[in-house]
Amino acid sequence: MARSQPFTVACEGGLVTASNQIDLLRRPGVATELENFEVSIEGGYRRISGFTKFGEGSATQPTGSADRINGVMPYADGVLVVVGNGLYFSQDGISWLQVNKLSAGAGDDYTTFTGKTASVRTGQEQATFAMFQSAGMDYGEVFIADNSTKDIFSFRMEGTGALNTRTFYAEEVSPNGVNTPVKYITSHDHHLIATGLDGEETTIYYSVYNNPNNFTGAGAGSVSISDIIVGIRGFREDLIIFCENSIHKLVNINDKQI
């Protein structure tokens, strides 16, 4: 049996998918497929240490069943989860508070809010989130779009004590005044941006400046382009608009220059 000769290769090249096999032979250390690895802050990549359930050994499902989770976002001192026909909040992954309930304008205390009937969000799909921060808010306001049969859902929680001492604000926001699914949202230049509305796939709606719940007041409006929009993201002063066959940017949302 032939003797083996050890050979050390430093795994420092990271994931490479654009080079052919011949070129890769000249660059030992790169990877073409990675499983359970992540980008390392020191360069290259590292093996993922592992995962722990939120709630660990006592973790529970938000709906008590194996419904598909369509979105998760850290919020306040816990997480918001889009699952089944509802939205849920938990501080520990064990106890879940359903939050897809519409509050009074001045907000509801815990008892009033939990006693309300849920506003069912039938047919939820993959969710997108947008966060707005403002002076006087403890955690900010979260907006959720999920391409369901409902409008954008707005949720805000105030108070830093026990959950049953906090105040809850929740409402549904319509960019075009019609109860229609919204696929994509983001925050940009103090506006809430919404697009991908059913039947208006080439139109972008933006809210009043510093008022993400208002799409009808002064400073709100819309702009249409010639391609179907499949995603939006703010980058510095520009709003990047990803379409099926093109990419655009909105240079100044208040002047609507594309």
Cβ contacts of residue 109 below 8 Å, gap of 6+? 167, 168
Same domain as 117, residue 245: yes
Burial class (CB in 10 A: 0-12, 13-18, 19+), 183: buried
Same domain as 199, residue 84: yes
Q: How confident is the model at residue 167 (pLDDT cuts 50, 70, 90)?
A: very high
CA atoms of 190 and 207, how far apart (whole Å): 9
Asked whether residue 1 is assigned to any structural domain, the reply reads no
What's the mean pLDDT when you consider all of the chain?
A: 88
Asked whether residue 133 is assigned to any structural domain, the reply reads yes
Asked whether residue 210 is assigned to any structural domain, the reply reads yes
Same domain as 140, residue 29: no
Note down the domain range covering 39: 14-47
- Average pLDDT estimate for 53-57: 92
Same domain as 118, residue 23: no
Same domain as 118, residue 92: yes
Q: Give 195-210 pLDDT, tens digit per residue.
A: 999 889 999 999 999 9
Q: How confident is the model at residue 188 (pLDDT cuts 50, 70, 90)?
A: very high
- In the predicted structure, residue 166 carries a pLDDT above the cut 60: yes
pLDDT at residue 258 in the model: 56
CA 189, 191, 192, 197: dihedral to nearest 10 degrees?
Answer: -100
H/E/C letters for each residue in the chain? CCCCCCCCCCCCCEECCCCCHHHHHCCCCEECCCCCEEECCCCCEEECCCCCCCCHHHCCCCCCCCCCEEEEEEECCEEEEEECCEEEEECCCCCCEECCCCCCCCCEEHHHHHCCCCCCCCCCCCCEEEEECCCCCCCCEEEEECCCCCCEEEEEEECCCCHHHCEEEEEEECCCCCCCCCCEEEEECCEEEEEEECCEEEEEEECECCECCCCCCCCCEEEECCCCEEEEEEECCEEEEEECCCEEEECECCCCEC
What is the tally of structural domains in the chain?
2
- In the predicted structure, residue 12 carries a pLDDT above the cut 60: no
Same domain as 168, residue 114: yes
Same domain as 76, residue 178: yes
Residue that wins the pLDDT comparison between 159 and 258? 159
Residue that wins the pLDDT comparison between 72 and 252? 72
Asked whether residue 191 is assigned to any structural domain, the reply reads yes
| The model's pTM | 0.81
Same domain as 88, residue 32: no
Asked whether residue 146 is assigned to any structural domain, the reply reads yes
Asked whether residue 258 is assigned to any structural domain, the reply reads no
Q: Give 216-235 pLDDT, tens digit per residue.
A: 999 999 999 999 999 999 98
Same domain as 112, residue 38: no
Asked whether residue 256 is assigned to any structural domain, the reply reads no
Same domain as 99, residue 40: no
Same domain as 232, residue 168: yes
Asked whether residue 96 is assigned to any structural domain, the reply reads yes
- Average pLDDT estimate for 151-164: 94
- Average pLDDT estimate for 152-174: 95
Residue that wins the pLDDT comparison between 244 and 14? 244
Same domain as 114, residue 28: no
- In the predicted structure, residue 27 carries a pLDDT above the cut 90: no
